[in-house]
Amino acid sequence: MLKIYGVYKSRATRILWLMEELGAPFELVPVIQAYKLKDPMAADARLNTRSPAFLTVNPMGSIPTIEDDGLVLNESLAQTIHVAKTIGGPIAPKDAAEDALTLQWTLFAATAIETEALKISHANNEGRLSTEAGRAEAEAVAQILARPFGVLEKHFSAHDYAVGDRFTVADINLGEVVRYAQAYQPLFDAHPKTAEWLARIQSRPGFKAMWEKRLAEVE
């Protein structure tokens, strides 16, 4: 059985959303981020990203990590593609061309969007988007994201989904990165087709089930 190390309030949402979509069994090993604990190295500390026991699984000390029949993967965007292709079905690439497009959108999300989008996410989580300085910071980020979001807007003006005109793992990988910027509405107002796509995939029962568990998670 697939083993997932991590918690819902982390990048593990990517693989956990996929598992909801697949309806496949898995074992979740709760590993919390070390920065959330007062003393992550205390003898009674919860299993965390600095715990020696976890570092034997992932020396980078990052979550999520998965173990699948002896294969250990530490990068969340690679995990989703591997599991989708292993289990198969319409959520996986159906041929070499779709495989390449899935990788392209995944890498595009990671390299062109994630770093800047996370700045909006952090500002929102810290309550700074309600301040003038925070909104100015978000607008500066939005200007940087205008180019990659323009690419998304062109694509989603012609397609309902990222690859193959059906919901696939590419939508999960791309959507979970784009979500980081979701708190800054002006960016999505300027890219309505991208906003429609994100709403479309987030309306799926799989996303809703994952998100409900994330909201219910006790840190």
Longest Cα separation, the chain: 55
Residue 31 lies in a domain: yes
Q: Is the pLDDT of residue 154 over 80?
A: yes
Of 41, 58, 89, the one marking the end of a domain is: 89
Q: Averaged over 184-188, what is the pLDDT?
A: 97
Q: Is the pLDDT of residue 43 over 80?
A: yes
Categorize the per-residue pLDDT at 219 as very low, low, confident or very high, splitting at 50, 70 and 90. Answer: confident
Q: Averaged over 107-135, what is the pLDDT?
A: 96
* pLDDT score recorded for residue 218: 86
CB atoms within 10 A of CB 194: 21
Q: Are residues 173 and 148 in the same domain?
A: yes
Q: Averaged over 191-217, what is the pLDDT?
A: 98
Q: pTM of the prediction?
A: 0.96
Q: Given phi > 0 = left and psi -120 to 50 = alpha, else beta, which region is 217? A: beta
Dump pLDDT digits (tens) for 13-42: 999 999 999 999 999 999 999 999 999 999
Q: Averaged over 114-126, what is the pLDDT?
A: 97
Q: Are residues 43 and 13 in the same domain?
A: yes
CA gyration radius for the chain?
Answer: 18
Dump pLDDT digits (tens) for 60-85: 999 999 999 999 999 999 999 999 99
Distance from the first to the final alpha carbon of the chain: 26
Residue 219 lies in a domain: no
Q: Are residues 186 and 100 in the same domain?
A: yes
Q: Is the pLDDT of residue 93 over 90?
A: yes
Counted domains in the chain: 2
- Exposed/middle/buried for 102, CB within 10 Å: 0-12, 13-18, 19+? buried
Dump pLDDT digits (tens) for 129-149: 999 999 999 999 999 999 999
Mean pLDDT of the chain: 97
The answer to whether the CB of 33 falls within 8 A of the CB of 10 is yes
Q: What value, to the nearest 5°, has the Cα angle with vertex 121 and ends 119 and 182?
A: 115
Rounded Cα distance between 95 and 197, Å, is: 23
Q: Averaged over 103-116, what is the pLDDT?
A: 98
The residue segments making up the domain with residue 75 are 2-89
Residue 139 lies in a domain: yes
